[in-house]
Amino acid sequence: MSFDDQLPPKIRLLRAAAELLANSEGSAVSTRQITKLAGVTAPTLYHHFGDKEGLFDAVVSAGFEEYVAGERDFAPSGEPLEDVRRMWDNHVQFGLTQPHLYLVMFGNIRPESRPAIVADAEALLEEMLNKAAIAGQINVPPREAARSILAANVGVTLMLIAEPVEERNLELSTMTRDSMIFAVSTETARGAAADDSGKSSVVVAAIALNAALQASHSDQLSSSELKLFLEWLHRISSSS
Amino acid sequence: MSFDDQLPPKIRLLRAAAELLANSEGSAVSTRQITKLAGVTAPTLYHHFGDKEGLFDAVVSAGFEEYVAGERDFAPSGEPLEDVRRMWDNHVQFGLTQPHLYLVMFGNIRPESRPAIVADAEALLEEMLNKAAIAGQINVPPREAARSILAANVGVTLMLIAEPVEERNLELSTMTRDSMIFAVSTETARGAAADDSGKSSVVVAAIALNAALQASHSDQLSSSELKLFLEWLHRISSSS
DNA sequence: TAGCACCTATAGCGTTGCTATATGAAGTGG
DNA sequence: CCACTTCATATAGCAACGCTATAGGTGCTA
């Protein structure tokens, strides 16, 4: 019944919930199962976690630490987009090795209530994409790119989880991954910024933007705005 | 209470379930609600549909007809990939206008049991992509392309459903859609992009500069200047 | 020792999906 | 016309669910 009588109930609840979530094959996990395995009664659960979802969120946070650790642990390769690729793979891997945990984290969709985890995963991706943006490697704002890539990543992972194990084809993942990354990347040498992507900085980007703006009159700013904008740009680009 | 006393109970149950699914805002739909609205008692439901999921499946079959009708109805434009684009949009639209029905169809993920609907939707997409393949417009086998695109499509739709209505940004959809379609297509849209490479490089440079500025707090501009500068930058970088 | 905050248990509420059993209606063969 | 089966619906209730009002126990500080 109760396992680990030494530990405080809060932790026993967390472990029991995690264990049941990991081992439950398909069927749902009830609070009674959890409290019984933890050797605790119902009110204890609600005292510590508010409600069932609160407990699951807490379990997920722990699982998410693991997930994030996987996302962060590998040393940055210096190639941000390569790192994004690895984050994608890590995401899928996490979903396939811990499908039930993953489903609680990402699969528990209801209208107008998105899992707290999604925002975190999005932030992680955005952070990495920001590096790519600084290096002039993407042609979309990092936030939008992150949202888009994450949506596809989740979609692929859910698809793979839903498939029978023997039919799972990871090529679905790699293909979709590369499609998404390629689509937001400047990889195929489009602009000046992409040329000196290696040594990018505020200055390089400013110079590139300066050149690009003067080459093609953007109609996003009025002429007076543009004048001031260019002056600031000049100030920034001549700062080194 | 009971609505439509004339019709046979089986149909009343279907209609009641469909109506409740469509109107229930967030919360789950219980068999008691359904049977009450249908003016029928519980055993009737189980006699006709086996269990709750059987009833939902039946409702979904009907909803799916509607969905498929939407997918098929527009005349082929002669541009298969354009049709794929419309199928994507139709898919998202269906998900957003009937979120609960959609969640029953696509969101009810459990390990190794995929909703029957997914296979049908995949087949529909594949059919269209096959036309594109015949026209030499894609560089990936239609089946794999369909799976990949559908996964992203579902992921995006689930993301959008999970977001608060006022925050929903359909650009997430169009962006992901175009990324996926472009990635499988042989169309050299990148070359086409090079035509207005001036604007395009402005956007790239602006995105890079934006990211770089926020990463390294440049002291070349005062905070008020920087604020305005960033706003202009945003305006430029979010111009299509 | 008194008081207080924190933690846990007893017991039970209301709701859920589902069913054992019985009743009514409709057709069929003698 | 009457049994007899078959189908469809209702009565009543079970076990499990998430959750909670209330109270008792525990350890700390005054």
The alpha-carbon gap from B202 to the nearest alpha carbon of chain A, in Å, equals: 5
CB spacing of B175 vs A142 below 8 angstroms: no
The per-residue pLDDT of chain B, averaged, comes to 80
pLDDT tens-digit readout, A82-103: 999 999 999 999 899 888 888 8
Specify the 3-state DSSP secondary structure of B63: helix
Q: Which residues face B238 on adjacent strands?
A: none
Q: Indicate whether A162 pLDDT > 80.
A: yes
Q: What is the DSSP string of B112-158?
A: TB--HHHHHHHHHHHHHHHHHHHTT-BSS-HHHHHHHHHHHHHHHHH
Q: Is the CB of B32 under 7 A from strand D?
A: no
pLDDT tens-digit readout, B215-230: 555 566 666 776 777 7
The alpha-carbon gap from B151 to the nearest alpha carbon of chain A, in Å, equals: 5
Please state, for a pLDDT cut of 90, what percent of chain B lies above it.
Answer: 32
Q: Is the CB of A52 under 7 A from strand D?
A: yes
Say what the pTM is. 0.77
Dist CA B51 CA B70 (whole Å): 29
Which one is predicted more confidently, B172 or A63?
Answer: B172
Q: Which residues lie closer than 8 Å to A115 by C-beta, 6 or more apart?
A: A60, A105, A106, A108, A109, B162
CB spacing of B237 vs A141 below 8 angstroms: yes
User: Poorest-confidence range of B64-68, B80-84, B115-119, B195-199?
Assistant: B195-199
Q: Quick one: pLDDT band at residue B138, thresholds 50, 70, 90?
A: confident
Residue A239: its pLDDT value, please?
53
Q: Is the CB of B47 under 7 A from strand C?
A: no
Dist CA A155 CA B154 (whole Å): 6
Which one is predicted more confidently, B232 or A118?
Answer: A118
Best probe of the B interface among A158, A195, A203, by most B CBs < 10 A, is A158
Q: What average pLDDT score do residues B77-106 get? A: 88
Residue B202: its pLDDT value, please?
58
